[in-house]
A and B are shown apart, each in its own frame.
Chain A
Amino acid sequence: MNDLTHSVEIKNLDLYFGAVRVLQDLNLTIGKGEFLVLLGSSGCGKSTLLNCIAGLLDVTAGQIHINGKNVTWAEPSERGIGMVFQSYALYPQMTVEGNLSFGLKNAGLPKDEIAKRVARAAEVLQIEPLLKRKPAALSGGQRQRVAIGRALVRDVEVFLFDEPLSNLDAKLRADLRVEIKQLHQQLGNTMIYVTHDQIEAMTLADRIAIMKGGLIQQLASPDEIYNRPRNRYVAEFIGSPTMNMIEGALAGTMFSGALGEMSVEGYPFDGDAPDATPAVLGIRPEHIASGSAAETMPIRLDSTVDLVEPLGSDTLARVTVGDSRLWVRMDGQISVHHGDPLPLGFEPARIHLFDKATEERL
């Protein structure tokens, strides 16, 4: 009765730390070979969830299935998982080879099998020249590769990553991100990856689960998360700079707020459009056209440039419309200055409307 195309299934999971409910009735199904990213700010429960899947934390209620087996009560080593930690957690007194083989030796695997697996992991991760070294003699990136290797030799279906790149500098982080993606393509394992970095999440994931307060806010592909955020929290969490939010009220297809009245005719409502309700209108800075491009847009505004942040490839401008401030992303070659007038425009298809009270997408 278990669907074998599901690699990991989490059913009605609850976890309390004392009286604090850290995970709340959580359900999650992860397909075979899927790359799932758990994304959220610190304290949202993402690492806790990962530790529950690994069996490092005892759940308060609910079930965890891995590969069709109910592992809710199983020891971490019996669950068919490998795990990579933020601090690498390499055994410092052992060589790289010792680190890779210690768990296998302990499980009583034959020597040639261990040697075979270590050799394969070393090849995949290109750490063969490092096998005789100790962790202290490795760079951060090399250490993280060894840590991945330790999961790899276990020959398991599911890999768990607990913020594996957080201790690395920006350049290395980008490199290893690519390597992890490549590794996933090469191995085809199920991977569950915890991070607070939205770029890692967007680039790596097949699906992203955005968490807050022990709940999954939205579970969807990166594309869906970006284009159709389920609620205001998700909308503001993804994207940099943050989505512009304008409070107001919706009556039919007319939205009136600080920017004046505008028609949202053409907005793809979730279900039926409400008759009249207080609402929040969101528009991403990169979806606001400026200058001459604004003229063709259905919704047009006049603004004044307040502050400019040139990034090279793009330029971010903070503009004022009446009393409201908006961020606009524009081409890096355009030059604007404080005080310049700037015509803006956008189309209703690119906006997001949220119910003001429930913060759910309309």
Chain B
Amino acid sequence: MANPATLNTAAASIDAVGGMLDGPQGPKPRKRFTRNNIIIYGTLIVVALYYLLPLYVMVVTSLKGMPEIRMGNIFAPPVEITFEPWVKAWSEACTGLNCDGLSRGFWNSVQITVPSVVLSIAIASVNGYALANWRFKGADLFFAILIFGAFIPYQVMLYPLVIILRELGLYGSLTGLVIVHSIFGMPILTLLFRNYFTSLPEELFKAARVDGAGFWQIYFQIMLPMSLPIFVVAMILQVTGIWNDFLFGVIYTKPDLYPMTVQLNNIVNSVQGVKEYNVNMAATLLTGLVPLIIYFVSGKLFVRGIAAGAVKG
């Protein structure tokens, strides 16, 4: 390619304009602290502090002893850091007759979340794929009902589901709750996957069919490997959603199978005994930890998940 130096002189000689004139030249001078910038950053910083405040208070409260909490200011950092409340929240706090702390709820939540996430994503991804690429008669109608169902308050379906699960002998079991989560996760996930598979080039699917691949072969060998990001998005959506669930957990399981959120609420809002705010905050933080970690690690994918769910919904 041409040597830039020679081209440069050539370009300059085309239009041999004399030197620059007086007056402004170069970039417009910008003050670092314009009124606009102060307003923008000022507002954002104040808002950010406001949003961080509860998290900060949770952390400092959970690290203080009860005497310090009763005496002092909730914003003050702990004078004497103690991890006692965390230990207590995890393994000793009482709900009803059980005094083995939140750990029971944590493991229940894990046992609920893992199969629910796997099952709901498996069903919804295959279903979304069928809707996107193998349209059959009536599919659109069922899909419309499904999406419409996402807006219907669960409350009208709660009791019929109790009856269905009781008939199946699954009421009060973890399996029953996993099924419930899969059902209520279906609309949003199916939409997510359907939209994603629709956005893939259709020629790819056609080429695979011409090559003689069938329904499952195309799904597993072509669609799945291309769709890793959307599976991650769906996973983030489901893990946080199911971990944070309270209503289904309290309705469809028994006390010793309660998920962490239900147990947390029972610990903190129990009427018996002296309120131990530090233990309560440690327990609250422990429960919020899983979704928070997922949120901070996943970053933009989390945003993509909620945007995909909302904007296209």
Contacts and interface: CB of A to CB of B under 8 A. Distances in A.
* A and B directly contacting (CB within 8 A): yes
Interface of A: 1-2, 9, 11-12, 24-29, 58-63, 65, 70, 72-73, 213, 215-219, 230-233, 357-360
Interface residues of B, number: 25
B4 interface: yes
B17 A25 contact: no
A60 B26 CA distance: 5
Contact of A72 (B1, B10, B12, B26): B26
Interface string B4-33: 101110111011110111111111110000
B8 A72 contact: no
B199 interface: no
Residue among A27, A62, A65, A360 with the highest chain B CB neighbour number at 10 A: A27
A358 B3 contact: yes
Contact of A61 (B14, B25, B28): B25
Interface residue SS majority, chain B: loop
Contact of A11 (B3, B11, B14, B17): B17
Contacts of B22: 70
A60 to B, nearest CB: 6
A322 B35 CA distance: 72
A358 B6 contact: yes
B15 A29 contact: yes
Nearest to B16: A27
Contacts of A58: 27-28
Interface string B75-118: 00000000000000000000000000000000000000000000
A130 to B, nearest CB: 32
Given A28-B15, A216-B14, A358-B2, A11 B7 contact: no
12 contacts: A11-B17, A24-B4, A26-B11, A58-B27, A59-B27, A62-B25, A63-B23, A65-B21, A72-B24, A72-B28, A231-B10, A232-B2
A8 to B, nearest CB: 12
Contact of B26 (A2, A59, A232): A59
A25 B25 CA distance: 13
A333 B286 CA distance: 85
Contact of A215 (B8, B19, B20, B28): B8
B4 A63 contact: no
A63 B16 CA distance: 15
Nearest to A2: B21
Given A219-B14, A233-B2, A60 B27 contact: yes
**Leading 4 A-B pairs by shortest Cβ distance:** A70-B23, A72-B24, A73-B24, A73-B28
A12 B20 contact: yes
A215 B17 contact: no
Nearest to B26: A61
B15 A219 contact: yes
A219 B7 CA distance: 13
Contacts of B4: 24, 213, 215
A70 B7 contact: no
A359 B2 contact: yes
A298 to B, nearest CB: 30
Given A62-B26, A73-B28, A217 B11 contact: yes
B7 to A, nearest CB: 6
A20 to B, nearest CB: 14
A1 B22 CA distance: 10
Given A72-B28, A233-B2, A27 B10 contact: no
Contact of B15 (A27, A73, A213, A359): A27
A72 B23 contact: yes
A25 B21 contact: no
A318 B16 CA distance: 42
Contact of A29 (B3, B17, B29): B17
Contacts of B17: 9, 11, 27, 29
A68 to B, nearest CB: 10
A72 B21 CA distance: 11
Given A24-B8, A59-B27, A358-B6, 19 more contacts: A9-B17, A11-B19, A11-B25, A12-B20, A25-B8, A27-B15, A27-B16, A61-B27, A63-B24, A65-B21, A72-B24, A72-B26, A216-B14, A217-B7, A217-B11, A230-B10, A231-B10, A233-B2, A357-B3
A144 B14 CA distance: 34
A61 B16 CA distance: 18
Contacts of A215: 4, 7-8, 11
B20 A63 contact: yes
Contacts of B28: 58, 72-73
Given A61-B26, A63-B25, A359-B2, A231 B7 contact: yes
Contacts of A70: 21-24
